[in-house]
Structure 1
Amino acid sequence: MCGLTGLLLAQPRMHGDALAAQVQDMAATMPHRGPDDAGYWIDGQAGIALGHRRLSILDLSPLGQQPMVSADGRYVLALNGEIYNHPALRAALAALGHRFRGRSDTEVLLAAIAEWGVEDVLPRCNGMFAIALWDRRERSLWLARDRVGKKPLYYGWAGDALVFGSELKALWRYPGFDNGVNRDALTLLLRLGYIPAPHCIHEGAFKMMPGCLLRLDAAAVAAGAHAHDPQRAQHRWWDAGERMRAALDTPFAAGVAEAESRLDELLRDAVGLRRVADVPVGVFLSGGTDSSTVAALMQAQSERPVRSFTIGFSGSRHDEAPDAAQVARHLGTDHTELYVSGSDASALVPGLAAMFDEPFADASQVPTALVCQLARREVAVALSGDGGDELFFGYGRYQRALRNWAILGRIPRPLRGLLARLPGARGEGSRTGGAAALLAEMGARGIGDVYRNRVSRWREPAAVVIGAREPDTVYRQADPLGMPGREAEAMMLADFLAYLPDDLLCKVDRTSMAVSLEARAPLLDWRVVEFAWSLPQDMKLRDGTSKYLLKRVLRRYLPDAMVDRGKRGFGAPVGDWLGGDLAGWAADLLEPQRLRNEGVLVPELVGDVWQRFRGGERKWHTHLWTVLMFQAWHAHWRASRAGIGGQGAG
């Protein structure tokens, strides 16, 4: 696992030493992503520079150093991530005459690109990765991201330069990158708690979307051809929507016993691939279905006790540590748990802006950061259970959305239209759920509209951000899947495209990389993903039990009592924090005159929510957390820009 960065100039106006100094400065912002080594490669005549920070996981020798040049000298590669099937690719390439100096997956990927070309190689890769590849012959830059979006990659325009990197702080170090706040993108943060790709908090900057690649040369950089239409510019080399529709058109035809065996086989192989490393490997264990499955399959393939890690919250309903400890005892893992107080957890909050680089408001970022810190004391790699909910219908909100959609279907459309125009059908009142939420969904065109209300924090975020218009996302679509009668799958696809990569995987990437820990997610092996999509819905939800098939697999390793637990989620008591340890911090960030001076958020609307929360009204903490995470980030970004001579304007 590593960090990459670089720049491509429209005109090669920097001499070699200046170009080298610039890219080294950009890479130096990410020592946490790569504490073991640093490297750079430049071509002053072409105006290209690549920088890299290395966290050594495979081939700890200097033969794995990056950026790496291909054996034929044509390609230069900076890779962030792991190609798990690199031994199979290596064998295929060796049969074609390729010879290798070291054991790294980077060298194998370079040889594969030289043999087959980048567009043909990516579908052959099983892994998590973001890459920057320079083609010296064509003088073109390729940026690409893995199927699911496990590894991040930002890019943006700074005058006549394209700058890119694993984290925004690398882009900030380029003096010309003084891009202001993208207020439209900010509305997405207020609605969702994160900013989905390709959108970014900065104007003129974007995120690579999962399963996409982008080709640029100096002419394209000069023209800014891709600066305003990233969804058109980024080419999908793996399309999740197409793959899900294809899987549903050719469903798994055998019975549940055969499906259980096949899923167990796929998961065993996915876990096995991700156990391979030249450094210690462990597992996050919450005691829930997903992490318990990964831990069980990992322990089943290990001759020694697997190291497992859990964070507990004293006296909180969010405390999963007792469940995790029980699972660990049964499996025989070498288990470590750490109990933290509310003050311990909330002490992390002021540093989140620096950790995440882009405003991010999923409060489970706090316990995730704590468990990553705990695991890094003993291991350099940890497996996680991310992806089970999105693949196997694990969220309760899916069932609630289907229930509401069914209710709406029994109400005549003219009446629904009238109800949708009532004052209570708009605004933030539906946050409390129940009848209020149902009223807010009266105007729904399809399951997508109902589900958007389920996942929204602010229901009308454009009203809160001065001069903003909310962009379209997958959650604005009436039917994200486009297959009538497949409402359950449509919701899972929407989450797979947005919530999974830009919330869950972003959270794990930033918190793990902050302590130089590599996190791997076997449930998101693409073979497991496509198999899950091929399953009939009654193998995911049966008799009110979600994750039905995944739980059948888990019963092979754990007793029923440990499998049949209600879902708690990996949450954090944000409301308690904002009413206690963090009250002063929040009040400072939400001070009305400060908001007026910054001129980004509407002080009256924010202040009203803050006063309602302080008055004891329910659920306003989710609204406030999005605002607070932006405010904290905004202060951090302005300070960072001022430190290198930028204006940091909002």
Structure 2
Amino acid sequence: MCGLAGMLLPAAQTPAEVLQAQALAMGQALHHRGPDDGGTWVDAAAGIALAHRRLSILDLSPLGHQPMASADGRYVMAYNGEVYNFAALRAELEPLGHAFRGHSDTEVLLAAILQWGVEDTLQRANGMFAIALWDRQEQCLWLARDRVGKKPLYYGWAGDALVFGSELKALWQHPDFDNDIDRDALTLLLRLDYIPAPHSIHQRCYKLMPGRVLRLDAAAVAAGASAHRPEQAQRPYWDARARMQAALAAPFQGRIEEAEEQLDGLLRDAVALRMVADVPVGVFLSGGTDSSLVAALMQAQSGQPVHSFSIGFSGSHHDEAPLAREVATHLGCDHTELYVSGADALAVVPQLPAMFDEPFADASQVPTALVARLARQGVTVALSGDGGDELFFGYTRYVRALRNWQMLGRVPAPLRRWMGARAHQQGEASRTGGLAALLAETGARGIGDVYRNRISRWRDPAAAVIGASEAGSFYDLADPLHGAGTPADAMMLADFVSYLPDDLLCKVDRTSMAVSLEARAPLLDWRVAEFAWSLPLGFKRSESTSKVLLKRVLGRYVPQSMVHRPKRGFGAPVSDWLKGDLKPWADELLQPARLEREGVLSAAAVQPLWQQFLGGQRKWHTHLWNVLMFQAWQDHWRQVRAGVQRG
């Protein structure tokens, strides 16, 4: 696990020593992602510079140093992540004449690109990665991101230079990166708690979407951001919707017992691949279905006790530590748990803007940061259970959305049209439930609209951002699957494409990388995803339970009493915080005079919610948390940019 950064200029007009210094500063901003080694590579005549920070996981020797050149010198690469099937790829490449100096996956990836080309290699690679690759022969830059979006990659324009990196903090180090806030993208933060790709918080700056590649040369950079719509310039080598549609068109035909056997084998292999490392490996264990299954499969394939880690919350009804301890004891894991107080959790809040460096408002970021910090004390790699809910119908909100969609189907069309015409008048009131919430969904064109309402925070975020129009997202589609599959499949796809990479995986990446810990998610192996999409819905949900097939596999390793437990969220008591210890902090950030001076958020939209919340309206804490996360981020961003040495 590492961090990468760099730049490509439209013309060779910058001296090598200046490019070197800028690349070094961009790389140094990512030191936390790779504290073990760092390097830069510059070709001033081509106007290209690459920087890399290394967290050594495979081949701890200097032979894994990056940026790394291919054996023939054609390609130079800075790479963040792991290709788990690198040994199998190496075994294919050696008979074709490729020789290897070390045993890093980076060297294998470069040889594969030399042999098969960029996009064919990405099709063959099973892993999590972000790649910046310079082709010296074609004089072009390739940016690529893994299928699911486990590893981040930003790119944008700083003056007339293209800049890119694993986190925005690297881009901020370029002296010409003065890109202001993208107010349209900010509306997505208010609605979703995060900003989905391809958008970012900055103008002229984007996220590379999962499963996409971007090819740029000096002419494309010279054309600038205005010449490309980011989602069109990015080319898919793997498309989740297309792969899900294909899986649904060729569904699994066997019995559930056969599906259970096949899933067990797939997951065993996915877990085994992710246990390969030259450093200690452990697992985040909450006691829920997904993490318990990952821990069980690790322990079943390990000759020694697996290191497991969990966080407990003193005096909280969300405390899962006893469940995790029970599972760990049964499996024989070497278990570590830490009970934290409210003060411990609150101490993380001031660190969040620097940790995420894009406003991010999923409050479970706090306990996730705590468990990552705990795990780093014992291991360098930790496996997680991310992905089970999106692939196997794990969220209760899916059930509620299906219920509402079925109810709407029984309402006469004229009455629905009449009610829908009045739905827009509800504004934020629909968040509080009752008739207003019902009206908000009556104009739904399809399950996508109902689900969008279910997952939204602010219902009219553009009203809260001065001068904004709401940016689009995958959740705007009435039918995310374009007629294929069931409404349940459509909701799971929407979450897989947006919520999973841009909320859950972003949260785990930033909190783990902040402490130089690599997190791996075996349930998100692309083979597991495509198999899950081929399964009938009855293998995922029944009248009494969700994640049916996952629980059947888990039942092979632990007693049934540990399998069938109510789902608990990995959350944080934000409402209590805002009425308690965080109230002075929130008061300061939400002052009407301050909001008016900054000119981004509408005091008229925000302040009434703060006052109503303090007066007892419990529902507004989620609205307020994403506003507060933006306000805190804005302070941090301005401070960082003020300290950058300008040319």
TM-score by length of 1: 0.98
Q: Is the counterpart of residue 469 in structure 1 residue 473 in structure 2? A: no
SS of 1:541's equivalent? coil
Q: State the Cα deviation string for residues 324-377 of structure 1 (Å, max 9, x = none).
A: 111111111111111111111011101100000100000000000000000000
Partner of 1:202: 202
Change in Cα spacing, 1:423 to 1:522, as seen in structure 2 (3 Å) is closer
Aligned length: 647
Distance 2:613 2:496 in 1: 32
Distance 2:173 2:544 in 1: 52
Partner of 1:118: 118
Partner of 2:217: 217
Q: For 1:416-565, list aligned pairs within 5 A.
A: 416-422=416-422, 426-433=426-433, 435-483=435-483, 486-565=486-565
Partner AA of 2:457 in structure 1: R
Partner of 1:247: 247
Partner of 1:616: 616
Contact 2:185 2:200 in 1 (8 A): yes
Partner of 1:414: 414
C-alpha displacement of 1:438 = 2.2
Partner of 1:81: 81
SS of 1:428's equivalent? helix
Q: For 1:294-333, list aligned pairs within 5 A.
A: 294-333=294-333
Contact 1:11 1:160 in 2 (8 A): no
C-alpha displacement of 1:228 = 4.4
Partner AA of 2:601 in structure 1: L
Contact 2:423 2:440 in 1 (8 A): no
Partner AA of 2:451 in structure 1: Y
Partner of 2:394: 394
Change in Cα spacing, 1:92 to 1:583, as seen in structure 2 (3 Å) is same
Partner of 2:575: 575
Unaligned 5+ runs, structure 2: none
C-alpha displacement of 1:420 = 2.1
SS of 1:619's equivalent? helix
C-alpha displacement of 1:600 = 0.1
Distance 2:168 2:364 in 1: 21
Distance 2:102 2:320 in 1: 43
TM-score by length of 2: 0.99
Partner of 1:601: 601
SS of 1:283's equivalent? strand
Contact 1:157 1:163 in 2 (8 A): yes
Q: State the Cα deviation string for residues 447-466 of structure 1 (Å, max 9, x = none).
A: 00000011100000000000
C-alpha displacement of 1:421 = 3.0
Percent sequence identity over matched residues?
71
Q: State the Cα deviation string for residues 520-562 of structure 1 (Å, max 9, x = none).
A: 0000000000000000000001123110000000000111111
Q: State the Cα deviation string for residues 588-624 of structure 1 (Å, max 9, x = none).
A: 1111111000000000110011001101112211000
Q: For 1:33-44, list aligned pairs within 5 A.
A: 33-44=33-44
Contact 1:36 1:55 in 2 (8 A): yes
C-alpha displacement of 1:504 = 0.1
Q: For 1:49-448, list aligned pairs within 5 A.
A: 49-224=49-224, 228-422=228-422, 426-433=426-433, 435-448=435-448
C-alpha displacement of 1:423 = 6.3
Distance 1:295 1:223 in 2: 50
C-alpha displacement of 1:426 = 2.2
Partner AA of 2:242 in structure 1: E
Partner AA of 1:197 in structure 2: A
SS of 2:121's equivalent? helix
Partner of 1:644: 644
Distance 1:18 1:643 in 2: 18
Contact 1:23 1:49 in 2 (8 A): yes
Contact 1:425 1:436 in 2 (8 A): no
Q: Is the counterpart of residue 32 in structure 1 residue 40 in structure 2? A: no
Partner AA of 1:121 in structure 2: T
Change in Cα spacing, 1:226 to 1:525, as seen in structure 2 (3 Å) is farther
Change in Cα spacing, 1:72 to 1:320, as seen in structure 2 (3 Å) is same
C-alpha displacement of 1:424 = 8.1
Partner AA of 1:110 in structure 2: L
After TM superposition, the structure 1 stretch with the greater mean CA deviation from structure 2, 274-283 or 484-493, is: 484-493
Change in Cα spacing, 1:29 to 1:227, as seen in structure 2 (3 Å) is farther
Distance 2:407 2:285 in 1: 38
SS of 1:190's equivalent? helix
Q: State the Cα deviation string for residues 275-315 of structure 1 (Å, max 9, x = none).
A: 00000000000000000000010011111111100011111
Distance 1:249 1:426 in 2: 40
Distance 2:303 2:574 in 1: 41
Contact 1:318 1:573 in 2 (8 A): no
After TM superposition, the structure 1 stretch with the greater mean CA deviation from structure 2, 109-118 or 9-18, is: 9-18
Q: State the Cα deviation string for residues 437-491 of structure 1 (Å, max 9, x = none).
A: 2221001000000000111000000000000011111101100111266100100
Deviation >4 Å, runs of 4+: 225-228
Partner AA of 1:72 in structure 2: D
Distance 2:501 2:492 in 1: 13
After TM superposition, the structure 1 stretch with the greater mean CA deviation from structure 2, 126-135 or 327-336, is: 327-336
Change in Cα spacing, 1:646 to 1:359, as seen in structure 2 (3 Å) is farther
Distance 1:418 1:177 in 2: 49
C-alpha displacement of 1:645 = 5.2
Partner AA of 2:263 in structure 1: L
Contact 2:359 2:633 in 1 (8 A): yes
C-alpha displacement of 1:14 = 1.1
Q: Is the counterpart of residue 626 in structure 1 residue 626 in structure 2? A: yes
Distance 1:505 1:226 in 2: 29
Q: State the Cα deviation string for residues 73-99 of structure 1 (Å, max 9, x = none).
A: 100011100000000000100010100
Distance 1:432 1:558 in 2: 41
SS of 2:287's equivalent? coil
Distance 1:156 1:181 in 2: 13
Q: State the Cα deviation string for residues 498-530 of structure 1 (Å, max 9, x = none).
A: 000000000000000000000000000000000
Distance 1:646 1:427 in 2: 44
After TM superposition, the structure 1 stretch with the greater mean CA deviation from structure 2, 480-489 or 91-100, is: 480-489
Change in Cα spacing, 1:421 to 1:242, as seen in structure 2 (3 Å) is same
SS of 1:410's equivalent? coil
Q: State the Cα deviation string for residues 563-600 of structure 1 (Å, max 9, x = none).
A: 11111111111111111111111111111111000000
